[in-house]
């Protein structure tokens, strides 16, 4: 049995993009759709038995008709090729108010062939070309769906978190009891697992989220645990495999160094009924993000040329580029932005940020408001400059000869 595990499409994130005049779509929407097409093509070409999507189809809880149309086109291709598509509801798929439909519920309502939508915890048994598979679904669950006011009365935040963990653990355990041990079993969860390494989703998170411990998920009843919500692909455990597929596309510079794609999972059953799970990460060609850092010093003769030379060291064509220039105040007016803009025009999108280093004034010890005599000021200055005691003694003698008799004071 071959299964594709992917997550976190977030169709609708259009940062760093522009409108493609030929299609009328945002180029960043097209990036996400191109990555999705790569996954769909792979599934069809390799005769995959099931595609498992672990939540967050759209950026917005109320996606545009265009975004819904484009997703439906890709799902239909899988359906027409008799590849079941399992959709888990993520936090971005939930409506703003109780009683409203989720953004992916339409597929369930229309009873589209080979499409399954999981918006509540339960066990799904799905027929595939490779045989039946069981999926324990754990969609994103709001706190108010799990806790009542009586549950949280007089509890602090840590106690509420522990109670949530216990409720979710009990939900999983209840579903495990319903599994048929003779059939392959997966856990599909849209959840934050403690100690997972985050990526671009860190900037998209508001407030405190409940988290699960890894020990709540990597149970021997499962052949594979497929996770969504964290945008960086990673393996949290091996027996059974517990993985975040990550997002299919890069969304911001938090994803700059992260490879994007999906997992291909293969479950084999031997003659004795024992199952073995193998998996590997399949990359897709996501849009590149590139940070170029340049640090200029006061003795740089041609600041603009130095920056241009640094840019030339990188392949910027079609990338989303962030140029960061650190320079002293004395060079601030010597940079020619027009030349930077001309070179960066080859990028898909480019921003330029300047960090101006302003020299701090030398302080003599801890003196701030009190007045020092010129001789005492010279003494403190020599200490700050780490002048040797012998040389400092000579300089103090010369200083005394120069200063003596003036009667002046200086204010630091």
Per-residue pLDDT tens listing for the chain (412 residues): 999 999 999 999 999 999 999 999 999 999 999 999 999 999 999 999 999 999 999 998 889 999 999 999 999 999 999 999 999 998 888 776 666 677 777 777 777 789 999 989 999 999 999 999 999 999 987 766 666 666 666 777 677 777 778 888 999 999 999 999 999 999 999 999 988 988 765 555 544 567 889 999 999 999 999 999 999 999 999 999 999 999 999 999 999 999 999 999 999 988 888 899 999 999 999 999 999 999 999 999 999 999 999 999 999 999 999 999 999 998 988 999 999 999 999 999 999 999 998 866 556 556 554 557 788 888 888 888 888 888 888 898 888 888 775 545 444 4
Q: Which residues make Cβ contacts (< 8 Å) with residue 53, sequence separation at least 6?
A: 6, 7, 9, 85, 86, 87, 88, 228
pLDDT at 149: 61
The Cα 194–Cα 211 span in angstroms is 6
Q: What pTM does this model have?
A: 0.81
Domains of the chain: 2-283 (3.60.21.10), 289-357 (no CATH), 371-411 (no CATH)
Q: What pLDDT, in 10s, does the model give residues 48-94?
A: 999 999 999 999 888 999 999 999 999 999 999 999 999 999 888 87
Q: CA 343: distance to chain centroid?
A: 29
Give the HSE-up count for residue 335: Cα atoms under 13 Å, Cβ half-sphere: 25
- Own/partner pairs, 30-38, CB within 8 angstroms, 24+ separation: 31/249, 31/286, 31/287, 32/248, 32/249, 33/70, 33/74, 34/285, 35/248, 35/249, 35/260, 35/284, 35/285, 35/286, 36/9, 36/71, 36/74, 36/248, 37/74, 38/284, 38/285
Give the HSE-up count for residue 401: Cα atoms under 13 Å, Cβ half-sphere: 5
The Cα 132–Cα 301 span in angstroms is 70
Q: For residue 187, what are the CA distances in angstroms to 117, 235, 304?
A: 15, 15, 55
Q: CA 147: distance to chain centroid?
A: 29
Pairing of β 185-190 and β 224-228: parallel
């Amino acid at each position: 049995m071959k299964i594709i595990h992917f997550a976190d499409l977030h169709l609708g994130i259009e940062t760093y993009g522009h409108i493609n005049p030929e299609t009328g779509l945002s180029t960043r929407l097209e990036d996400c759709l191109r990555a999705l097409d790569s996954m769909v093509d792979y599934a069809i070409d390799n005769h995959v038995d099931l595609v498992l999507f672990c939540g967050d189809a759209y950026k917005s809880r109320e996606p545009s008709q265009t975004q819904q149309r484009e997703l439906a086109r890709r799902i239909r291709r899988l359906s027409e090729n008799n590849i079941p598509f399992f959709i888990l509801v993520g936090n971005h798929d939930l409506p703003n108010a109780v009683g409203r439909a989720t953004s992916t519920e339409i597929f369930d309502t229309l009873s589209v062939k080979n499409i399954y939508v999981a918006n509540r915890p339960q066990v799904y048994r799905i027929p595939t070309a490779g045989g039946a598979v069981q999926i324990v679904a754990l969609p994103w669950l709001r706190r108010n769906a799990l806790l009542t006011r009586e549950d949280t009365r007089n509890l602090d935040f840590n106690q509420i978190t522990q109670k949530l963990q216990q409720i979710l653990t009990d939900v999983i355990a209840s579903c495990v009891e319903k599994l048929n041990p003779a059939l392959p079993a997966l856990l599909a969860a849209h959840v934050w697992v403690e100690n997972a390494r985050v990526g671009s989703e860190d900037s998209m998170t508001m407030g405190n989220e409940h988290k699960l411990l890894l020990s709540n998920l990597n149970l021997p009843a499962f052949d594979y645990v497929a996770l969504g919500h964290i945008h960086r692909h990673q393996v949290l455990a091996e027996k059974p495999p517990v993985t975040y597929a990550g997002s299919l596309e890069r969304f911001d510079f938090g994803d700059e160094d992260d490879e994007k794609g999906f997992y291909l999972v293969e479950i084999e059953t031997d003659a004795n009924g024992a199952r073995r799970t193998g998996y590997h990460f399949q990359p897709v060609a996501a849009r590149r993000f590139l940070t170029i850092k340049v640090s200029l010093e006061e003795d740089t003769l041609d600041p603009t040329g130095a920056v241009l030379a640094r840019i030339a060291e990188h392949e910027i064509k079609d990338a989303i580029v962030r140029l960061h220039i650190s320079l002293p105040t004395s060079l601030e007016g010597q940079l020619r932005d027009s030349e930077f803009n001309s070179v960066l025009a080859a990028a898909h999108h480019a921003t330029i940020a300047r960090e101006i280093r302003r020299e701090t004034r030398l302080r003599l010890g801890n003196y701030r408001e009190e007045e020092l005599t010129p001789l005492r000021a010279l003494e403190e200055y020599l200490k700050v400059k780490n002048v040797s005691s012998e040389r400092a003694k000579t300089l103090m003698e010369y200083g005394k000869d120069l200063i003596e008799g003036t009667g002046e004071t200086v204010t630091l």
